[in-house]
Chain A
Amino acid sequence: MRILAYGIVLTWIALAAGPLAWTALLSLRDYVDAFAIPVQLFAPLTLEHYRTLWLVSGFSENALNTALLTFGTVSISLSIGCLAAYALSRTTARIGLLLLMLALAFRAMPHAALLPSFVSVFEAIGVRGSLPPLMLVLIAVNQPFTIWMLRAFFLSVPRDIDDAALVDGCTRFQAFRHVILPVMGPGLVTTGLFSFLLAYNDFLLSSALTNAENMTMPVAIASVIQADSESLLMQGIAGSMSLTIPLLLLIAVFQKRIVEGLTQGAVK
Protein backbone atom coordinates (compact mmCIF):
# COMPACT_ATOMS: atom_id res chain seq x y z
CA MET A 1 0.00 0.00 0.00
CA ARG A 2 2.66 2.44 1.11
CA ILE A 3 4.91 1.64 -1.85
CA LEU A 4 2.04 2.26 -4.24
CA ALA A 5 1.40 5.60 -2.53
CA TYR A 6 5.05 6.63 -2.89
CA GLY A 7 4.96 5.56 -6.53
CA ILE A 8 1.90 7.70 -7.27
CA VAL A 9 3.26 10.77 -5.48
CA LEU A 10 6.69 10.49 -7.10
CA THR A 11 5.16 10.00 -10.56
CA TRP A 12 3.09 13.13 -10.19
CA ILE A 13 6.02 15.18 -8.86
CA ALA A 14 8.05 14.08 -11.89
CA LEU A 15 5.22 15.07 -14.23
CA ALA A 16 4.62 18.34 -12.40
CA ALA A 17 8.21 19.49 -12.10
CA GLY A 18 9.60 17.76 -15.20
CA PRO A 19 8.63 20.37 -17.80
CA LEU A 20 10.06 23.16 -15.64
CA ALA A 21 13.23 21.22 -14.85
CA TRP A 22 13.75 20.55 -18.57
CA THR A 23 13.19 24.25 -19.31
CA ALA A 24 15.83 25.09 -16.69
CA LEU A 25 18.25 22.75 -18.46
CA LEU A 26 17.43 24.23 -21.89
CA SER A 27 18.10 27.73 -20.57
CA LEU A 28 21.68 26.72 -19.77
CA ARG A 29 22.47 25.32 -23.23
CA ASP A 30 23.25 26.63 -26.68
CA TYR A 31 20.40 26.39 -29.17
CA VAL A 32 22.11 23.62 -31.15
CA ASP A 33 22.35 21.46 -28.01
CA ALA A 34 18.95 22.43 -26.59
CA PHE A 35 16.99 21.32 -29.64
CA ALA A 36 19.36 18.75 -31.10
CA ILE A 37 18.15 15.63 -32.90
CA PRO A 38 18.62 13.16 -31.29
CA VAL A 39 18.04 14.62 -27.81
CA GLN A 40 21.21 15.35 -25.85
CA LEU A 41 21.18 14.33 -22.21
CA PHE A 42 24.56 15.91 -21.56
CA ALA A 43 25.75 19.09 -23.20
CA PRO A 44 28.03 22.00 -22.30
CA LEU A 45 26.37 24.50 -19.97
CA THR A 46 26.42 28.25 -20.45
CA LEU A 47 25.02 31.35 -18.76
CA GLU A 48 25.21 33.28 -22.03
CA HIS A 49 21.43 33.59 -22.54
CA TYR A 50 20.90 35.00 -19.07
CA ARG A 51 23.73 37.47 -19.62
CA THR A 52 22.37 38.68 -22.98
CA LEU A 53 18.82 38.85 -21.69
CA TRP A 54 19.54 40.85 -18.55
CA LEU A 55 22.49 42.97 -19.64
CA VAL A 56 21.94 43.52 -23.36
CA SER A 57 18.20 43.12 -24.03
CA GLY A 58 17.16 45.17 -21.01
CA PHE A 59 15.14 42.52 -19.16
CA SER A 60 15.99 44.39 -15.96
CA GLU A 61 13.60 47.14 -17.11
CA ASN A 62 10.83 44.55 -17.40
CA ALA A 63 11.75 43.18 -14.00
CA LEU A 64 11.50 46.68 -12.53
CA ASN A 65 8.07 47.15 -14.15
CA THR A 66 6.87 43.85 -12.72
CA ALA A 67 8.24 44.79 -9.29
CA LEU A 68 6.49 48.19 -9.30
CA LEU A 69 3.26 46.68 -10.57
CA THR A 70 3.16 43.86 -8.03
CA PHE A 71 4.17 46.08 -5.12
CA GLY A 72 1.51 48.66 -5.98
CA THR A 73 -1.18 46.07 -6.59
CA VAL A 74 -0.51 44.16 -3.38
CA SER A 75 -0.26 47.17 -1.08
CA ILE A 76 -3.29 49.01 -2.45
CA SER A 77 -5.47 45.87 -2.70
CA LEU A 78 -4.67 44.97 0.88
CA SER A 79 -5.35 48.46 2.22
CA ILE A 80 -8.72 48.80 0.53
CA GLY A 81 -9.52 45.13 1.05
CA CYS A 82 -8.89 45.27 4.80
CA LEU A 83 -11.23 48.18 5.38
CA ALA A 84 -13.94 46.71 3.17
CA ALA A 85 -13.62 43.20 4.56
CA TYR A 86 -13.65 44.37 8.17
CA ALA A 87 -16.85 46.32 7.57
CA LEU A 88 -18.44 43.41 5.71
CA SER A 89 -17.48 40.98 8.44
CA ARG A 90 -19.15 43.10 11.13
CA THR A 91 -22.23 44.42 9.39
CA THR A 92 -25.65 42.81 9.71
CA ALA A 93 -27.23 45.05 7.07
CA ARG A 94 -28.73 43.47 3.96
CA ILE A 95 -26.52 45.55 1.71
CA GLY A 96 -23.53 43.63 3.06
CA LEU A 97 -24.80 40.39 1.58
CA LEU A 98 -25.60 42.12 -1.71
CA LEU A 99 -22.09 43.56 -1.95
CA LEU A 100 -20.53 40.18 -1.20
CA MET A 101 -22.59 38.48 -3.88
CA LEU A 102 -21.67 41.19 -6.39
CA ALA A 103 -18.02 40.70 -5.51
CA LEU A 104 -18.33 36.95 -6.04
CA ALA A 105 -19.93 37.51 -9.44
CA PHE A 106 -17.17 39.86 -10.54
CA ARG A 107 -14.54 37.45 -9.32
CA ALA A 108 -15.85 34.86 -11.76
CA MET A 109 -15.71 37.13 -14.82
CA PRO A 110 -13.08 36.25 -17.39
CA HIS A 111 -10.66 39.17 -17.60
CA ALA A 112 -11.00 39.51 -21.36
CA ALA A 113 -14.69 40.29 -20.90
CA LEU A 114 -13.69 43.46 -19.03
CA LEU A 115 -11.06 44.49 -21.56
CA PRO A 116 -13.12 46.17 -24.30
CA SER A 117 -14.35 48.87 -21.94
CA PHE A 118 -10.97 49.43 -20.27
CA VAL A 119 -9.19 49.63 -23.61
CA SER A 120 -11.68 52.12 -25.08
CA VAL A 121 -11.66 54.37 -22.02
CA PHE A 122 -7.87 54.36 -21.56
CA GLU A 123 -7.49 55.02 -25.29
CA ALA A 124 -9.92 57.94 -25.13
CA ILE A 125 -8.18 59.68 -22.24
CA GLY A 126 -4.75 58.86 -23.64
CA VAL A 127 -3.27 56.76 -20.83
CA ARG A 128 -3.24 53.33 -22.47
CA GLY A 129 0.21 51.76 -22.38
CA SER A 130 1.47 53.09 -19.07
CA LEU A 131 1.67 51.17 -15.81
CA PRO A 132 -0.73 53.06 -13.47
CA PRO A 133 -3.91 52.23 -15.47
CA LEU A 134 -2.86 48.58 -15.61
CA MET A 135 -2.31 48.63 -11.86
CA LEU A 136 -5.77 50.12 -11.42
CA VAL A 137 -7.29 47.30 -13.47
CA LEU A 138 -5.38 44.60 -11.59
CA ILE A 139 -6.48 46.07 -8.26
CA ALA A 140 -10.08 46.18 -9.45
CA VAL A 141 -9.92 42.60 -10.71
CA ASN A 142 -8.24 41.45 -7.50
CA GLN A 143 -10.44 43.30 -5.03
CA PRO A 144 -13.41 40.89 -4.86
CA PHE A 145 -11.03 38.06 -4.06
CA THR A 146 -9.15 40.06 -1.38
CA ILE A 147 -12.40 41.10 0.24
CA TRP A 148 -13.75 37.54 0.41
CA MET A 149 -10.56 36.09 1.74
CA LEU A 150 -9.86 38.81 4.32
CA ARG A 151 -13.47 38.72 5.43
CA ALA A 152 -13.13 35.04 6.28
CA PHE A 153 -10.11 35.88 8.45
CA PHE A 154 -11.91 38.77 10.14
CA LEU A 155 -14.87 36.48 10.86
CA SER A 156 -12.53 34.20 12.78
CA VAL A 157 -11.76 37.05 15.18
CA PRO A 158 -14.62 37.04 17.71
CA ARG A 159 -16.88 40.07 17.76
CA ASP A 160 -16.55 40.23 21.56
CA ILE A 161 -13.06 41.60 21.11
CA ASP A 162 -14.43 44.57 19.15
CA ASP A 163 -17.12 45.09 21.75
CA ALA A 164 -14.59 45.05 24.58
CA ALA A 165 -12.49 47.67 22.79
CA LEU A 166 -15.54 49.82 22.09
CA VAL A 167 -16.63 49.63 25.73
CA ASP A 168 -13.14 50.71 26.75
CA GLY A 169 -13.66 53.87 24.75
CA CYS A 170 -12.05 53.07 21.42
CA THR A 171 -13.67 54.45 18.28
CA ARG A 172 -14.57 51.88 15.63
CA PHE A 173 -11.45 52.74 13.66
CA GLN A 174 -9.20 52.55 16.72
CA ALA A 175 -10.63 49.14 17.56
CA PHE A 176 -9.88 48.02 14.00
CA ARG A 177 -6.41 49.57 13.89
CA HIS A 178 -5.08 48.68 17.36
CA VAL A 179 -6.98 45.57 18.39
CA ILE A 180 -8.12 43.61 15.35
CA LEU A 181 -5.43 44.35 12.77
CA PRO A 182 -2.52 43.16 14.98
CA VAL A 183 -3.97 39.62 15.12
CA MET A 184 -4.60 39.55 11.36
CA GLY A 185 -1.00 38.78 10.38
CA PRO A 186 -1.59 35.33 8.85
CA GLY A 187 -4.65 36.55 6.96
CA LEU A 188 -2.74 39.48 5.51
CA VAL A 189 0.17 37.26 4.45
CA THR A 190 -2.09 34.69 2.76
CA THR A 191 -4.18 37.30 0.98
CA GLY A 192 -1.07 39.28 0.06
CA LEU A 193 0.49 36.17 -1.47
CA PHE A 194 -2.44 35.55 -3.78
CA SER A 195 -2.59 39.23 -4.75
CA PHE A 196 1.10 39.00 -5.54
CA LEU A 197 0.58 35.92 -7.70
CA LEU A 198 -2.23 37.61 -9.62
CA ALA A 199 -0.15 40.66 -10.52
CA TYR A 200 3.13 38.79 -11.01
CA ASN A 201 1.62 36.09 -13.23
CA ASP A 202 -0.73 38.26 -15.26
CA PHE A 203 -0.26 38.08 -18.98
CA LEU A 204 -3.63 38.81 -20.58
CA LEU A 205 -4.31 42.24 -19.09
CA SER A 206 -0.66 43.31 -19.08
CA SER A 207 -0.15 42.43 -22.74
CA ALA A 208 -3.29 44.33 -23.74
CA LEU A 209 -2.62 47.44 -21.67
CA THR A 210 1.13 48.11 -21.80
CA ASN A 211 3.25 49.56 -24.59
CA ALA A 212 6.83 48.61 -25.50
CA GLU A 213 8.41 50.70 -22.71
CA ASN A 214 6.21 49.39 -19.95
CA MET A 215 6.23 45.68 -20.67
CA THR A 216 6.25 43.41 -17.63
CA MET A 217 8.35 40.23 -17.58
CA PRO A 218 5.67 37.84 -18.93
CA VAL A 219 4.78 40.24 -21.77
CA ALA A 220 8.44 40.66 -22.67
CA ILE A 221 8.96 36.90 -22.73
CA ALA A 222 5.95 36.40 -24.99
CA SER A 223 7.06 39.10 -27.41
CA VAL A 224 10.58 37.72 -27.56
CA ILE A 225 9.34 34.26 -28.40
CA GLN A 226 7.10 35.33 -31.25
CA ALA A 227 10.16 36.51 -33.16
CA ASP A 228 11.57 33.70 -35.28
CA SER A 229 15.14 33.86 -34.02
CA GLU A 230 17.19 31.24 -32.24
CA SER A 231 18.95 33.71 -30.00
CA LEU A 232 15.69 35.39 -28.99
CA LEU A 233 14.06 32.02 -28.31
CA MET A 234 16.90 31.08 -25.98
CA GLN A 235 16.56 34.44 -24.24
CA GLY A 236 12.87 33.73 -23.82
CA ILE A 237 13.70 30.42 -22.18
CA ALA A 238 16.17 32.12 -19.85
CA GLY A 239 13.51 34.77 -19.14
CA SER A 240 10.96 32.08 -18.25
CA MET A 241 13.36 30.64 -15.71
CA SER A 242 14.21 34.11 -14.36
CA LEU A 243 10.49 34.63 -13.79
CA THR A 244 10.06 31.21 -12.16
CA ILE A 245 12.95 31.22 -9.66
CA PRO A 246 11.39 33.83 -7.32
CA LEU A 247 8.14 31.84 -7.42
CA LEU A 248 9.95 28.67 -6.36
CA LEU A 249 11.39 30.50 -3.36
CA LEU A 250 7.96 31.83 -2.53
CA ILE A 251 6.42 28.35 -2.64
CA ALA A 252 9.22 27.00 -0.47
CA VAL A 253 8.75 29.67 2.18
CA PHE A 254 4.97 30.07 2.17
CA GLN A 255 3.78 26.60 1.20
CA LYS A 256 1.41 26.30 4.17
CA ARG A 257 -0.18 29.67 3.52
CA ILE A 258 -0.67 28.86 -0.16
CA VAL A 259 -2.43 25.61 0.69
CA GLU A 260 -4.57 27.45 3.22
CA GLY A 261 -5.55 30.06 0.64
CA LEU A 262 -6.32 27.53 -2.09
CA THR A 263 -8.58 25.44 0.11
CA GLN A 264 -10.26 28.21 2.05
CA GLY A 265 -13.12 28.73 -0.39
CA ALA A 266 -13.89 25.04 -0.62
CA VAL A 267 -13.55 23.47 2.80
CA LYS A 268 -15.64 24.74 5.63
Chain B
Amino acid sequence: MLRSEFAKALHFTMLYVVVTVPLVIIGGLVLALATTQIPMGLRGFAIGAALLPFIVTPLVGALSIKWLFRDDGLVTQVLNSLGIQIFWMAEAWSARLLVILHGIWHSLPFAFIVLFAGLQSVPRDALEAASLDGASPLQRLWYVTLPHLGPLVTFILLIHTMDAYKLFEPVVVLTQGTFTESVQFVTYSILLEEGNANKASAAAILTILGVAILLIPMLRRAVQEHKAGAA
Protein backbone atom coordinates (compact mmCIF):
# COMPACT_ATOMS: atom_id res chain seq x y z
CA MET B 1 0.00 0.00 0.00
CA LEU B 2 2.66 2.43 1.14
CA ARG B 3 4.73 1.39 -1.84
CA SER B 4 2.28 2.69 -4.41
CA GLU B 5 1.63 5.97 -2.56
CA PHE B 6 5.32 6.52 -2.14
CA ALA B 7 6.07 5.62 -5.72
CA LYS B 8 3.48 8.15 -6.88
CA ALA B 9 4.97 10.84 -4.65
CA LEU B 10 8.50 10.10 -5.85
CA HIS B 11 7.31 10.12 -9.43
CA PHE B 12 5.76 13.56 -9.11
CA THR B 13 8.73 14.84 -7.10
CA MET B 14 11.06 13.79 -9.93
CA LEU B 15 8.88 15.41 -12.57
CA TYR B 16 8.75 18.56 -10.44
CA VAL B 17 12.52 18.71 -9.99
CA VAL B 18 13.32 17.99 -13.63
CA VAL B 19 10.95 20.68 -14.91
CA THR B 20 11.59 23.39 -12.31
CA VAL B 21 15.38 23.15 -11.88
CA PRO B 22 16.44 24.52 -15.27
CA LEU B 23 13.80 27.27 -15.20
CA VAL B 24 14.64 28.32 -11.65
CA ILE B 25 18.38 28.40 -12.29
CA ILE B 26 18.27 30.09 -15.69
CA GLY B 27 15.57 32.51 -14.54
CA GLY B 28 17.49 33.26 -11.35
CA LEU B 29 20.68 33.89 -13.32
CA VAL B 30 19.01 36.19 -15.83
CA LEU B 31 17.39 38.16 -13.01
CA ALA B 32 20.69 38.33 -11.11
CA LEU B 33 22.55 39.61 -14.18
CA ALA B 34 19.81 42.17 -14.83
CA THR B 35 19.90 43.35 -11.22
CA THR B 36 23.63 44.12 -11.45
CA GLN B 37 22.74 46.69 -14.16
CA ILE B 38 20.31 48.54 -11.88
CA PRO B 39 21.69 51.63 -10.09
CA MET B 40 22.57 51.07 -6.43
CA GLY B 41 19.83 53.33 -5.13
CA LEU B 42 17.06 51.20 -6.62
CA ARG B 43 18.66 47.84 -5.91
CA GLY B 44 17.52 47.53 -2.32
CA PHE B 45 13.89 47.92 -3.23
CA ALA B 46 14.19 45.66 -6.27
CA ILE B 47 15.81 42.88 -4.25
CA GLY B 48 13.30 43.15 -1.42
CA ALA B 49 10.38 42.92 -3.85
CA ALA B 50 12.00 40.14 -5.87
CA LEU B 51 12.41 38.01 -2.73
CA LEU B 52 8.73 38.23 -1.72
CA PRO B 53 7.57 34.81 -2.96
CA PHE B 54 10.34 33.12 -0.99
CA ILE B 55 9.85 34.99 2.28
CA VAL B 56 6.10 35.30 2.51
CA THR B 57 4.31 32.61 4.59
CA PRO B 58 4.25 29.56 2.28
CA LEU B 59 0.59 28.94 3.07
CA VAL B 60 -0.32 32.49 2.05
CA GLY B 61 1.83 32.31 -1.08
CA ALA B 62 0.09 29.13 -2.21
CA LEU B 63 -3.34 30.58 -1.40
CA SER B 64 -2.69 33.78 -3.34
CA ILE B 65 -1.79 31.66 -6.39
CA LYS B 66 -4.89 29.52 -5.87
CA TRP B 67 -7.15 32.55 -5.81
CA LEU B 68 -5.72 33.68 -9.17
CA PHE B 69 -6.31 30.25 -10.71
CA ARG B 70 -9.81 29.49 -9.35
CA ASP B 71 -12.39 28.86 -12.05
CA ASP B 72 -13.54 32.46 -11.49
CA GLY B 73 -10.04 33.77 -10.70
CA LEU B 74 -8.16 36.53 -12.52
CA VAL B 75 -5.70 34.38 -14.52
CA THR B 76 -8.34 31.83 -15.53
CA GLN B 77 -10.61 34.59 -16.77
CA VAL B 78 -7.86 36.40 -18.67
CA LEU B 79 -6.90 33.13 -20.38
CA ASN B 80 -10.58 32.54 -21.07
CA SER B 81 -10.90 35.83 -22.86
CA LEU B 82 -7.95 34.76 -25.03
CA GLY B 83 -9.86 31.61 -25.91
CA ILE B 84 -7.97 29.26 -23.59
CA GLN B 85 -10.26 27.49 -21.16
CA ILE B 86 -8.57 25.58 -18.35
CA PHE B 87 -10.12 24.25 -15.15
CA TRP B 88 -6.82 24.18 -13.31
CA MET B 89 -7.66 21.94 -10.37
CA ALA B 90 -9.82 19.50 -12.31
CA GLU B 91 -7.34 17.62 -14.46
CA ALA B 92 -4.06 15.86 -13.79
CA TRP B 93 -1.90 17.80 -16.26
CA SER B 94 -3.17 21.23 -15.24
CA ALA B 95 -3.02 20.49 -11.50
CA ARG B 96 0.59 19.35 -11.93
CA LEU B 97 1.39 22.37 -14.06
CA LEU B 98 -0.07 24.63 -11.38
CA VAL B 99 2.09 23.13 -8.61
CA ILE B 100 5.11 23.44 -10.93
CA LEU B 101 4.34 27.07 -11.74
CA HIS B 102 3.99 27.78 -8.04
CA GLY B 103 7.31 26.02 -7.46
CA ILE B 104 9.10 28.26 -9.96
CA TRP B 105 7.48 31.36 -8.48
CA HIS B 106 8.47 30.33 -4.97
CA SER B 107 12.03 29.09 -5.60
CA LEU B 108 13.36 31.46 -8.24
CA PRO B 109 14.13 34.23 -5.68
CA PHE B 110 16.43 31.90 -3.75
CA ALA B 111 18.41 30.97 -6.88
CA PHE B 112 18.44 34.66 -7.80
CA ILE B 113 19.85 35.92 -4.51
CA VAL B 114 22.50 33.20 -4.24
CA LEU B 115 23.67 33.82 -7.83
CA PHE B 116 23.49 37.59 -7.33
CA ALA B 117 25.77 37.30 -4.31
CA GLY B 118 28.03 35.03 -6.37
CA LEU B 119 28.25 37.64 -9.13
CA GLN B 120 29.63 40.17 -6.63
CA SER B 121 32.60 37.92 -6.00
CA VAL B 122 33.61 37.24 -9.60
CA PRO B 123 37.30 38.19 -9.67
CA ARG B 124 37.54 41.63 -11.27
CA ASP B 125 41.05 41.22 -12.65
CA ALA B 126 40.00 38.07 -14.52
CA LEU B 127 37.18 40.02 -16.17
CA GLU B 128 39.51 42.91 -17.00
CA ALA B 129 42.17 40.58 -18.36
CA ALA B 130 39.54 38.93 -20.55
CA SER B 131 38.37 42.24 -22.00
CA LEU B 132 41.98 43.35 -22.60
CA ASP B 133 42.40 40.14 -24.56
CA GLY B 134 39.44 41.24 -26.66
CA ALA B 135 36.68 39.06 -25.20
CA SER B 136 33.14 40.29 -25.90
CA PRO B 137 30.73 40.73 -22.95
CA LEU B 138 29.06 37.44 -23.91
CA GLN B 139 32.40 35.64 -24.00
CA ARG B 140 33.33 37.07 -20.62
CA LEU B 141 30.01 35.79 -19.25
CA TRP B 142 30.55 32.34 -20.73
CA TYR B 143 34.24 31.82 -19.97
CA VAL B 144 34.78 33.79 -16.75
CA THR B 145 31.53 34.45 -14.90
CA LEU B 146 29.66 31.18 -15.40
CA PRO B 147 32.53 28.88 -14.38
CA HIS B 148 32.86 30.97 -11.24
CA LEU B 149 29.17 30.35 -10.43
CA GLY B 150 29.43 26.59 -10.99
CA PRO B 151 29.61 25.51 -7.33
CA LEU B 152 26.64 27.76 -6.50
CA VAL B 153 24.55 26.10 -9.18
CA THR B 154 25.30 22.72 -7.58
CA PHE B 155 24.34 24.16 -4.21
CA ILE B 156 21.02 25.48 -5.54
CA LEU B 157 20.35 22.17 -7.26
CA LEU B 158 20.81 20.23 -4.00
CA ILE B 159 18.72 22.60 -1.88
CA HIS B 160 15.98 22.71 -4.50
CA THR B 161 15.83 18.92 -4.74
CA MET B 162 15.60 18.60 -0.97
CA ASP B 163 12.86 21.21 -0.96
CA ALA B 164 10.97 19.15 -3.53
CA TYR B 165 10.70 16.30 -0.99
CA LYS B 166 9.33 18.85 1.46
CA LEU B 167 6.71 20.30 -0.87
CA PHE B 168 3.69 20.69 1.36
CA GLU B 169 1.65 23.88 1.38
CA PRO B 170 1.14 24.10 -2.41
CA VAL B 171 0.06 20.46 -2.49
CA VAL B 172 -2.43 20.93 0.36
CA VAL B 173 -3.75 24.24 -0.90
CA LEU B 174 -3.76 23.83 -4.68
CA THR B 175 -4.73 20.21 -5.21
CA GLN B 176 -5.35 18.56 -1.81
CA GLY B 177 -2.98 15.86 -2.99
CA THR B 178 -4.94 14.71 -6.03
CA PHE B 179 -2.64 14.26 -9.03
CA THR B 180 0.27 15.84 -7.16
CA GLU B 181 1.81 14.25 -4.11
CA SER B 182 5.04 14.94 -2.32
CA VAL B 183 6.90 12.66 0.06
CA GLN B 184 6.20 14.98 2.96
CA PHE B 185 2.50 15.27 2.10
CA VAL B 186 2.16 11.46 2.00
CA THR B 187 3.70 11.09 5.46
CA TYR B 188 1.52 13.85 6.88
CA SER B 189 -1.74 12.54 5.48
CA ILE B 190 -1.04 8.93 6.49
CA LEU B 191 -0.37 10.12 10.03
CA LEU B 192 -3.21 12.57 10.47
CA GLU B 193 -5.91 11.59 8.00
CA GLU B 194 -5.53 7.80 8.07
CA GLY B 195 -4.40 7.97 11.69
CA ASN B 196 -1.84 5.23 11.07
CA ALA B 197 1.26 6.12 13.07
CA ASN B 198 3.10 2.90 12.19
CA LYS B 199 2.68 3.34 8.47
CA ALA B 200 3.57 7.02 8.79
CA SER B 201 6.76 6.07 10.62
CA ALA B 202 7.65 3.73 7.77
CA ALA B 203 7.11 6.61 5.33
CA ALA B 204 9.26 8.84 7.55
CA ILE B 205 12.12 6.34 7.51
CA LEU B 206 11.93 6.08 3.72
CA THR B 207 12.02 9.88 3.50
CA ILE B 208 15.04 10.08 5.77
CA LEU B 209 16.87 7.52 3.61
CA GLY B 210 16.09 9.54 0.51
CA VAL B 211 17.36 12.76 2.07
CA ALA B 212 20.45 10.99 3.39
CA ILE B 213 21.50 10.12 -0.16
CA LEU B 214 21.26 13.76 -1.19
CA LEU B 215 23.06 14.83 1.95
CA ILE B 216 26.26 12.89 1.31
CA PRO B 217 27.77 15.45 -1.11
CA MET B 218 26.80 18.33 1.21
CA LEU B 219 28.32 16.67 4.26
CA ARG B 220 31.51 15.94 2.34
CA ARG B 221 31.77 19.54 1.27
CA ALA B 222 31.18 20.73 4.83
CA VAL B 223 33.84 18.38 6.22
CA GLN B 224 36.35 19.53 3.61
CA GLU B 225 35.63 23.18 4.34
CA HIS B 226 35.97 22.51 8.03
CA LYS B 227 39.33 20.85 7.55
CA ALA B 228 40.49 23.63 5.25
CA GLY B 229 39.41 26.17 7.89
CA ALA B 230 41.23 24.35 10.68
CA ALA B 231 44.46 23.96 8.77
| Interface positions of A (Cβ within 8 A of B) | 1-2, 4-6, 8-9, 12-13, 15-17, 19-20, 22-23, 26, 35-39, 92, 97, 100-101, 104-105, 108-117, 119-120, 155, 197, 200-201, 203-204, 208, 218, 221-222, 225, 236-237, 240, 243-244, 247, 251-252, 255-256, 258-259, 262-263, 265-268
Contacts and interface: CB of A to CB of B under 8 A. Distances in A.
Interface string B24-49: 00000011011111100000101111
Interface string B184-195: 110110011000
B100 to A, nearest CB: 15
A4 B36 CA distance: 12
Given A39-B74, A251-B51, 11 more contacts: A12-B50, A101-B219, A101-B222, A104-B219, A105-B219, A108-B215, A201-B58, A222-B59, A222-B172, A243-B57, A247-B55
A197 B50 contact: no
Interface string B49-73: 1111111111111011101101011
Contacts of A5: 33-38
A203 B169 CA distance: 8
Interface of B: 30-31, 33-38, 44, 46-61, 63-65, 67-68, 70, 72-74, 77-78, 81, 105, 108-110, 113-114, 117-118, 121, 152, 155-156, 162, 165-166, 168-169, 172-173, 183-185, 187-188, 191-192, 197, 200-201, 203-205, 207-208, 211-212, 214-215, 218-219, 222-223, 225-226, 229-230
Contacts of B192: 119, 208
A8 B54 CA distance: 18
28 contacts: A5-B36, A5-B38, A6-B38, A19-B105, A20-B56, A20-B61, A23-B60, A38-B77, A101-B223, A110-B187, A112-B168, A113-B205, A115-B191, A119-B197, A201-B59, A203-B58, A218-B59, A218-B60, A237-B63, A240-B57, A240-B59, A255-B47, A255-B48, A256-B44, A262-B51, A266-B118, A266-B152, A268-B225
A237 B113 CA distance: 29
A92 B230 contact: yes
Contacts, number: 217
A37 B80 CA distance: 11
A267 B168 contact: no
A123 B112 CA distance: 42
Contact of B67 (A26, A112, A221): A26
A258 to B, nearest CB: 7
Contacts of A23: 60, 63-64, 67
A236 B39 CA distance: 39
A92 B231 CA distance: 11
Contacts of B105: 15-16, 19
Contacts of A266: 114, 117-118, 152, 155-156
Given A218-B59, A266-B118, A19 B31 contact: no
B59 A13 contact: no
Interface of B is mostly: helix
B41 to A, nearest CB: 13
A113 B208 contact: yes
B58 A240 contact: no
Interface of A is mostly: helix
Contacts of A101: 219, 222-223
A151 B212 CA distance: 23
A60 B44 CA distance: 33
A4 B30 CA distance: 11
Given A39-B78, A112-B207, A267-B118, A117 B38 contact: no
A114 B64 contact: no
A134 to B, nearest CB: 15
A8 B47 contact: no
A1 B51 CA distance: 23
B211 A109 contact: yes
Given A5-B37, A16-B49, A22-B67, A35 B208 contact: no
Contact of B113 (A221, A236, A262): A262
Contacts of B191: 112, 115-116, 119, 208
B117 A251 contact: no
B225 A120 contact: no
A251 B52 contact: yes
Given A203-B169, A208-B191, A259-B117, A113 B65 contact: no
